[in-house]
Structure formats: C-alpha cells, structure tokens
C-alpha cells in the first residue's frame, strides 16, 4: 500500500479517538454548517457532477440540494444513540451505542454527492470517521465533499477522499484501521467487498442493483402513472438503482395506457447536459453504453419486441428505447442501467405479483391502484425494501432505505442508519 494512503488511514484512526468524544449535538452543528455551504453553492457543485458524469445540470443541482436537505434532517435528528436503561435487578443495566471507528465507503458515479453523503453523514454523526473510495471518474466530487466538510469546521481526518483504483480496495479494507465498509454498486462488486469484509470479520452494508417493477392496474390514474413511470425510468439517463425498469401493465388497460406512456417517453430528447432545459443527456461512459446495447440485442434475440428502438446517436448517447418482454427472457434477470425500459402484460393481480417478484433483485417497487385492498395485497407480498403506492420511487431522509435479495442488506437514511456502524454494548452489574 502506498505510504500516502497508509498515512491517511492512520490519520483517520487518530481522528476517531477524539471525534468519538465530541457530543452528538456538536457534531450536528457541523453537519448543519456543511449543509448550508452545499445549498449556497449548489450550482458550483452541480457543475462538477455534470462535468464528471454527464447528468443534466438541473438534476445535478437538485442532487446537491437534496444532500443539504438530508444533512439538515440529521442536524435536527433525535439522538437515538444515548445510553438506554433496561429495567432489571442490577445497579448497572444499560445498552451503550459505541462507534466502530474508521469506515470505508466504496461509492459509484451515478449520484456522486448523494451516495457519498447518504452513507457518510449518519456514520460520522454516530462518531465514526470515514475514508472514501469514489468512482474513478468522480474524484473531483470526492475532493469537493472533503473540502466542504473542512470548511464547515470538521477536524482533519474525519472525512478523507482516497484517489485509488478498485484494485487497492482489498488492501485498504484489510487494514487494521478499517472497522467496516459501505458499498453502493453492482452485485459483483458487492459480493467481492462483502467477501473481503467477512474474511476479516468486519461489518459491511451493501446497496446494490435493482430491476424495479412499476405495476399499473386497471383502476390506477393512467395519466399520472405514465408521467411518473417515464420520469422514473429516464431520469439520470436511466442510470439509477431504484429506477422503474419493468413496467407490468394490467391487460385490461394495455390499449389505454401504452399510448400515453409512449407519448411521455418521446418527450425525452437528448440534449446538452449543461442546458437547464435538458431532460436527458448521455450515459456516464462509452463502455456503459456498449453494455446496454449488448443487453438490448440479447433481449431481442430471446423474443423481445421493439416498441421504441434504442438508437445510439453518439459514443455515449441514445434515443431512449422501450421493449415488450415475455416471461422467461433472460434479460429479466439482469439490470438495465441506461435509457431502456421493458413492458410486460399481466392477466391479473396475482400474475403481476409473480412477474414483479420473479427476479434476483428486491430494491423498490411502485404500484398504481386506487383500491386499498389491492394496495395491501402488494404491500404484503412484494419482495422489496420499499413499496411505493401511486408514486414513483424516490429516497427520503426520513425513511429507511435498503434492499432485499440480491439488492443488498443494511439500512441507509432515517434514524436507523445511525445504528449501522455502532456496537450495542451491554453494561450490566452492581455497585460495590
């Protein structure tokens, strides 16, 4: 391991020994200050995001502003890490929540600020320190986040960006200073990191891919569902884990819904990412566009039908595509990370549920129906970390966020995230 990285890990470990003693409320004040800096400079930081991974500037600015919103949530949050007294016959009878130490974040390029801060803020508020291995195209975002926290008054070593390659993650994770890891990324990357963490008996949190179902039933609001469905599929050029990817449509409304859906789909025309009016721009890298094109061809080879062709117009730009897919097509077992959606037709609610659950992933689903009993049927039976009723998927700082099955494990956001990287220590005994 390079000496520079070794020094940063040691620095993070030393910083932890002091940071863990800082009162919860004082940590919150620094988080609030950092949120203010982000909000006041959202255009500046949004430009960094767009320049690095091509996201439309309006979405990049919104991402930064959402980070500030999330940080203010934690700045005002209840301290659920206070010692809890347990009724018993003992003099000492408490549970203490003890921060673990230095936590490694391995983060992706699709939300360069949000993914990092979503993990880092509750981890730091809980008393840990953080080192970040960001995606190679997003080192600028990582450095900017570090600078924001320093400007806000966080001591040096609380958050450090490491400009390292994926090959160096193993050595960093195995380092004695690292006590846990949070990864947002692909299933392959998650499995590799979790294996290393497991062999070294270190806590891991994984937020992995998804192939979320967007289920539209015959009594749903078809106009709203069409607008929300297209936005969910195509925002961030379709490069979102929680994006709607499989549109499961009740056969009774196929002829009524699909024209509305296609009309909304066609409104997303590729434009300049720096133009505030642009809804969709290019993908983050040409190799990612290559992979999506291969998946499109694979789907067609196994019987998928084109509704709107996926047309490549540059090395990383597409006119968004839409295909009709039958059960059994192997593409359904994969995640499409780009502007390509899949439509499936269900005969009834039971078949729609089966289609939704019959994949390896379980991140977040959306169901459109006005009938409460039908809503409850899907709420109780969908295999996912989140179920949205008559709305598209979007994460909210107030609510837990995490997946099931191959979509990962552990909780981000909400107060529950404060307990991900702490040890619940039992203190029990008698005064002498």
Residue 12 and residue 96: Cα distance in Å, rounded?
A: 23
Which backbone phi and psi does 178 adopt, to 5 degrees? Answer: -80, 130
Q: Which token pair is 162?
A: 């490491």
- C-alpha closest to that of 66 among 102, 108, 115: 115
**Candidate list 52, 207, 264, 334, residue with the active-site label:** 207
Query: Is residue 67 annotated as part of the catalytic site, yes or no?
Result: no
Provide the H-helix boundaries in 134-249: 139-152, 169-174, 187-199, 222-234
HSE at residue 147, side-chain half, CA atoms within 13 A, is 9
Q: Which of 138, 241, 334, 412 is catalytic?
A: 241
Helix H or strand E encompassing 181: strand 178-184
**Is 207 considered catalytic here?**
yes
Q: DSSP secondary structure string, 222-283?
A: HHHHHHHHHHHHHGGGG--TTSEEEEEEEGGGHHHHHHHHHHHHTT--B--TTSTT-SB---
Token pair for 411: 């909780």
Closest CA to 367 of 216, 230, 211: 216
> Any residues with CB less than 8 A from the CB of 382 and at least 6 apart, and which?
213, 353, 356, 357, 365, 367
Asked if residues 331 and 302 have their Cβ atoms less than 8 Å apart, the reply is yes
Distance of CA 38 to the CA centre of its chain: 19
- Residues contacting residue 17 through CB under 8 Å, at least 6 positions apart: none
The torsion angle over the Cα atoms of residues 195, 171, 123 and 202, rounded to 10 degrees, is 40
Query: What residues act catalytically?
Result: 207, 241
């Amino acid at each position: 391991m390079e000496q520079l990285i070794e020094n940063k890990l040691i620095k993070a470990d030393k910083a932890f020994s002091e940071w863990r003693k800082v009162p919860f409320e004082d940590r919150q004040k620094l988080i609030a200050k950092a949120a203010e800096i982000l909000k006041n400079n959202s255009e500046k930081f949004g430009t960094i995001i767009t320049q690095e991974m091509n996201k439309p500037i309006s979405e990049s600015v919104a991402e930064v502003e959402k980070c500030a919103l999330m940080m203010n949530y934690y700045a005002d949050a209840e301290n659920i890490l206070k010692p809890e007294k347990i009724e018993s016959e003992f003099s000492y009878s408490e549970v203490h929540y003890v921060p673990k130490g230095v936590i490694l974040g391995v983060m992706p390029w699709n939300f360069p600020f949000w993914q990092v801060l979503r993990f880092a803020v509750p981890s730091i508020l809980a008393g840990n320190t953080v080192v970040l291995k960001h995606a190679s195209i997003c080192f600028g975002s990582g450095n900017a986040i570090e600078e924001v926290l320093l400007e806000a008054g966080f001591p040096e070593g609380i958050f450090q960006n490491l400009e390292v390659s994926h090959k160096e993650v193993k050595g960093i994770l195995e380092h004695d200073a690292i006590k846990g890891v949070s990864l947002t990324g692909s299933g392959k990357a998650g499995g590799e990191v979790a294996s290393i963490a497991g062999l070294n008996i270190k806590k891991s949190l994984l937020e992995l891919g998804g192939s979320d179902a967007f289920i539209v039933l015959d009594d749903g609001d078809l106009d709203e569902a069409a607008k929300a469905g297209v936005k969910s599929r195509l925002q961030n050029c379709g490069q979102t884990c929680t994006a709607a990817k499989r549109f499961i449509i009740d056969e009774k409304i196929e002829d009524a819904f699909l024209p509305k859906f296609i009309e909304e789909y066609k409104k997303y025309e590729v434009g300049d990412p720096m133009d505030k009016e642009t809804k969709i721009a290019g993908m983050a890298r040409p190799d990612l566009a290559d992979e999506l094109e291969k998946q499109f061809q694979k789907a067609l080879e196994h019987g998928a039908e084109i509704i709107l062709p996926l047309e490549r117009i540059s090395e990383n730009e597409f006119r968004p595509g839409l295909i009709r897919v039958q059960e059994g097509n192997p593409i359904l077992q994969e995640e499409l990370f780009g502007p390509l959606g899949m439509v499936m037709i269900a005969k009834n609610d039971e078949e729609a549920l089966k289609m939704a659950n019959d994949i390896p992933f379980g991140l977040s689903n959306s169901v459109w129906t006005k009938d409460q009993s039908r809503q409850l049927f899907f709420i109780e039976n969908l295999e996912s970390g989140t179920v949205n009723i008559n709305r598209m998927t979007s994460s909210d700082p107030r609510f837990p966020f995490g997946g099931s099955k191959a979509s990962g494990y552990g909780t981000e956001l909400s107060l529950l995230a404060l307990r991900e990287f702490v040890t619940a220590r039992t203190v029990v005994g008698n005064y002498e």
